[in-house]
Amino acid sequence: MSTAISTEPVISITENAAGQIRHLTAQDTKNTGKFLRVYVEQGGCSGMQYAMTFDEKRADDFATDMHGVSVLVDPFSAQYLRGTVVDFNDALTGGGFKISNPNAKQSCGCGKSFET
């Protein structure tokens, strides 16, 4: 099984996001040995929506290693996510993972869906 290799990462993650990813994998043993997968799918109020899950590597995945964690993106999602930055904020109001996508022409107010 080979992983697609790119000289530039498809997405970047901040140190805060990496810390939260490590926390989530340590908190739940079913995520042990898995990686964070960031992907897009049809849906949401703007046409496409972001999703994240813990998953195993697939042969055609793009893998990004930053701040001690690996993040996976499938080839379909990569065309929409190239240049995206994933951050994490633990504020009580508006906290959570934040996705900044330079390819999104329009995003909805919830920040979970976008239009290209």
Query: Domain residues of the chain, as ranges?
Result: 11-111
SS (H, E, C) 40-70: EEECCCCCEEEEEEEECCCCCCEEEEECCEE
Residue 34 CB partners (closer than 8 Å, separation 6+): 25, 54, 55, 56
What rounded mean pLDDT belongs to the chain?
84
pLDDT of residue 92: 80
- Confidence (pTM): 0.80
pLDDT value at 12 more than 80? yes
* Closest-CA residue to 111 (of 44, 16, 24, 15): 44
Query: How large is the average pLDDT for residues 15-24?
Result: 95
pLDDT of residue 32: 86
Q: d(Cα 51, Cα 27) in Å, to the nearest integer? A: 20
* CA 102 vs CA 10, 15, 81, 84, 107: distances in Å: 12, 20, 8, 6, 11
Could you tell me which CATH number the domain at 11-111 has? 2.60.300.12
pLDDT value at 21 more than 70? yes
Query: How large is the average pLDDT for residues 80-105?
Result: 88
